[in-house]
Structure 1
Amino acid sequence: MTSAAGRTSAAGRLDRLVRQVQAQARVPAVSAAVHRADRPLWTCTAGGTGNDTALDEQTRFRIGSVTKTFTAVLVMQCRDDGLLDLDDPLRRHLDLPAHGELTVRRLLSHTAGLQREPYGDVWDTLRAPDTDQLITELDRAERVLPTGRRYHYSNLGMALLGHLVGQVRGGTWAEVLTERVLTPLGLTATTTTPGPRAATGFLVDAYSDEAHPEPPTDFGAVSPAAQLWSTATDLARWAAFLADPAALDAAGRVLAPATLDEMRWPVTVTDEAVWAGGFGLGLILVPQGERVVHVGHDGAMPGFLAGAYGRRGGEGTPGAFGAAVLGSSGTAVELLELPHRLLAAAVEHDPADIDPWRPGEPAPPDVRGLLGRWWGEGFEYVFSWHEGALRARGAGDPPGKPPAVFAPVPDQPDVFRTVSGRENGELLRLTRDSAGVVVRMHWATYRFTRRQETFDGFDFRV
């Protein structure tokens, strides 16, 4: 168990990382937070708001495209509630003049090929369309790539999904967001408007120390893509939810853990040559090595940058582990790497405590006889019983690789369904001899035997 002095030292290291980035990247204000289930919330602020309010952990910043993760969760809620299917074309739910053939899934994963922004020069005029204009001018927006060809980021696509959520729920996107996500998770500082405690956003001059305030913007009908304001404490909790929903929403009021698993599955890489990042259903996935992945999103709006990521996998990773960094400079890209650095440093210097192993319940009698070593496709596997479930691992699998986990198929004796890991979804069928001993198994139709055999049944030990 990490001592109190060790935890204090680890917190000091995190403080230094934040203050170093604030000073070296010249960010007027930085707010950071780390949420984890086994430690008190850690926060740090550096700089000043640029206005007459004090900078503290309650200061709000524009979070830009981190907003998309909230919209994506709303879409998945609609799917889970039977209001839509991910493979539905938009026209099934919205009356659109164009692009109605694009599917919900393609828009969520940015593989629909739709142009990045609504029609017009939004970033030049800083005037976003209202909903009527967004829909009316949709026939002037291009599909710039064939659907499914590759990753192509689209604020317009996420705006349409936000409008879809409001349509099927009978309200506005903002109303549905507050009722179905923000309130249940206690994210009271996450809002569509800045409120009285907001930092001012700046463009910091590249060749002097001048920081010029950026104009305020309202994203109108594109709000589901980038409108929200929040605090680092709220966003660290949100990132922890994206990584480990069961720890923060045990009843699944917001979203079932299995649905978050689905959202975190990579649909596409973001760079075909350098597989350093991927995209799931509304979520950015950043591999960290050693079977560790950070899941969340970055955000950028005039005068602001934000990043919120949760960490999954790896030795020392605690439950409900998320980090958020918010800054009041639109150009300090070092801010976007900082959440990843904070998560890595927290695990390195204050890893989760190691729970002691304790004896558990024995395997059921009908399973006990199949435990141990089996051979399939010429390779050796070990079947075992842990935490109330049948499991299988390749004999040569590295320690961090998750096992296959099986569940009995109701009303089918000696048949199991693979519910996670290798061959997920496939059946495992047992064959017993006249004495009831399991002598053969078929997993995903491949034969498994107690001794190594060729595919035509030659046994090397005979």
Structure 2
Amino acid sequence: MPPTGEATAACERVIRTLQAEERVPAVAAAVVRSDRPGWSFALGDAGAGTPAGPATQFRIGSVTKTFTAVLVLQLRDSGMLDLDDQIDAHLALPAHGQLTIRSILNHTSGLQREPWGNLWDTLDVPDDTRLLEEVAKAEAVLSPRRRWHYSNLGFALLGHLVSAKTGAAWAEVLQDRLLDPLGLSDTTVLPRGDAAQGYLVDAYSDHARPEPHFDLRGAAAAAQLWSTAGDMARWALFLAKPDPAVVARSTLEEMYEPVVVTDPVNWHTGWGLGLQVAPQGSGSDRAVDIGHNGAMPGFLAGVWCRRGVEIGAAVLGSSGTAAGITSAPHKLIAESLRLDPVRVEPWTIGGPAPREYAGILGRWWSEGSEFVFRWTKGHLEARSASAVAAAPPAIFAFEAPDLFRTVSGREAGERLEVFRGPDGAVDYMRWATYRFTRDQQTYA
């Protein structure tokens, strides 16, 4: 089913407004969904009078980190490392080897933001050997796990970790494990000849000065890649709906989980394992977008999906000052879903709950709050009666007679124990040690 004309017109208006109001020389956008054909749009001058189009490459900056993070999780899934390992268990470093892989992925390592030196002032970018040698000069600016502190140096080291574990360069591993399997042929380490020129747009005139394009060399795993809006929207859809031959859904869901917030006052963005987590809306309309923004001289990028919905959006622009580029993907997702809602899948008849556990189903109370337990799609699940629609249920797996384990959602990892009366009927339950009863009860 094609996207509705109303939705495509609304999405196009978002990009036209962005380009005109924030004076972006060239901008490209795309939305892809699993339930209908995608949408794409490009506008502006990509350089030397060349119109921007669907094939125009832009630099995506730190969106590169999402690829590096998935590569690290692939290595973890294959048993080559553990996220709580110290990085020097796998990569020889002259300093900071005690930092865990997990803390680097979620930017809580405390490592300084950039490689040693004044890279962004001098554009003197270290090669692989020099970057690793100069780690000895880098500072631990915070204690590990003290708070969120963004570190390009940390992700550069993760790229070297990938190389050390596979015996191949980060770029080769990226190509073999992600770009080729996912068909992302427009995503490259170096720009093609027709790539967009990046600009600094003057604040008080219509003049735009070209920014230099340069190779990040030893820090490539942090921000090197170039891509098109179409490829990045497909990558965003992959983050929402992974190919199990590339990475397990459970692994990506692990990457989604926010473990730290970026702003201790506003709490507008959280950070998982290499992925940003951005709440959208409020109340019953609450949703969560997953993805990453990127910036390099002359370029900004936003690449996002919506958790629980098979949709991805990307907006890439050739201005380093148009902040609306990074908020535009969220607007595209919202407009696409509002004006062209997800197809409602028909409910189908399923099997009954196992007879011995039919007594679990229905409404229960704990701590004065109401929960609903259901048997659906072959498993037991539970939701708070007050949960917003977008909140995932807790899902349980059978572990032993009258014992379940929470495998995802609320209280993940905790036990659900079933207690029966003399007649064998379910009397009460304990979930994460809290008593669940059929009516409201005090702790007494």
- 1:212 correspondence with 2:209: yes
Q: 1:83 aligns with which of 77, 80, 83?
A: 80
Residue of structure 2 equivalent to 1:420:
408
Residue of structure 2 equivalent to 1:107:
104
Encode CA deviations 1:312-361: one digit per residue, 9 max, x unaligned: 24xxxx42x01101111111112111111111111111111222333322
In structure 2, relative to structure 1, the CA distance for the partners of 1:118 and 1:381 (3 Å cut) is closer
Give the Cα–Cα distance (whole angstroms) in 1 for the partners of residues 110 and 177 of structure 2.
30
Give the Cα–Cα distance (whole angstroms) in 2 for the partners of residues 253 and 14 of structure 1.
32
* Residue identity opposite 2:237 in structure 1: A
Q: Tell me, yes or no, if the aligned pair for 1:27 and 1:332 is still in contact at 8 Å.
A: yes
In structure 2, relative to structure 1, the CA distance for the partners of 1:325 and 1:401 (3 Å cut) is closer
1:399: Cα distance to partner? 4.4
Q: Percent identity?
A: 56
Q: 1:300 aligns with which of 280, 292, 295?
A: 295
In structure 2, relative to structure 1, the CA distance for the partners of 1:455 and 1:332 (3 Å cut) is closer
1:368: Cα distance to partner? 1.5
In structure 2, relative to structure 1, the CA distance for the partners of 1:272 and 1:9 (3 Å cut) is same
Give the Cα–Cα distance (whole angstroms) in 2 for the partners of residues 446 and 34 of structure 1.
44
TM-score, normalisation: structure 1: 0.91
- 1:265 correspondence with 2:266: no
Aligned pairs for 1:28-39 within 5 A: 28-39=25-36
Give the Cα–Cα distance (whole angstroms) in 2 for the partners of residues 294 and 373 of structure 1.
31
Encode CA deviations 1:384-442: one digit per residue, 9 max, x unaligned: 21222112233444444433221111xx2221111222222111222334443222322
Residue of structure 2 equivalent to 1:348:
338
Aligned pairs for 1:161-240 within 5 A: 161-240=158-237
In structure 2, relative to structure 1, the CA distance for the partners of 1:47 and 1:451 (3 Å cut) is closer
In structure 2, relative to structure 1, the CA distance for the partners of 1:201 and 1:420 (3 Å cut) is same
Give the Cα–Cα distance (whole angstroms) in 2 for the partners of residues 73 and 255 of structure 1.
8
Encode CA deviations 1:138-178: one digit per residue, 9 max, x unaligned: 11111111111111111111000100001001100000000
Give the Cα–Cα distance (whole angstroms) in 1 for the partners of residues 61 and 406 of structure 2.
40
- 1:274 correspondence with 2:269: no
* Residue identity opposite 2:419 in structure 1: T
Q: Tell me, yes or no, if the aligned pair for 1:51 and 1:199 is still in contact at 8 Å.
A: no
Q: 1:373 aligns with which of 359, 363, 377?
A: 363
CA RMSD of aligned residues (A): 1.8
- 1:287 correspondence with 2:279: yes
* Residue identity opposite 2:323 in structure 1: V
Q: Tell me, yes or no, if the aligned pair for 2:44 and 2:51 is still in contact at 8 Å.
A: no
SS at match of 2:4: helix
TM-score, normalisation: structure 2: 0.95
Give the Cα–Cα distance (whole angstroms) in 2 for the partners of residues 165 and 388 of structure 1.
38
What stretches of structure 1 of length at least 5 have no aligned partner? 457-462
**Looking at CA atoms only, which structure, 1 or 2, has the larger radius of gyration?**
1
Q: 2:117 aligns with which of 115, 120, 132?
A: 120
In structure 2, relative to structure 1, the CA distance for the partners of 1:132 and 1:451 (3 Å cut) is same
Q: 1:444 aligns with which of 412, 415, 432?
A: 432
What stretches of structure 2 of length at least 5 have no aligned partner? none
Q: Tell me, yes or no, if the aligned pair for 1:127 and 1:219 is still in contact at 8 Å.
A: no
Q: Tell me, yes or no, if the aligned pair for 1:174 and 1:192 is still in contact at 8 Å.
A: yes
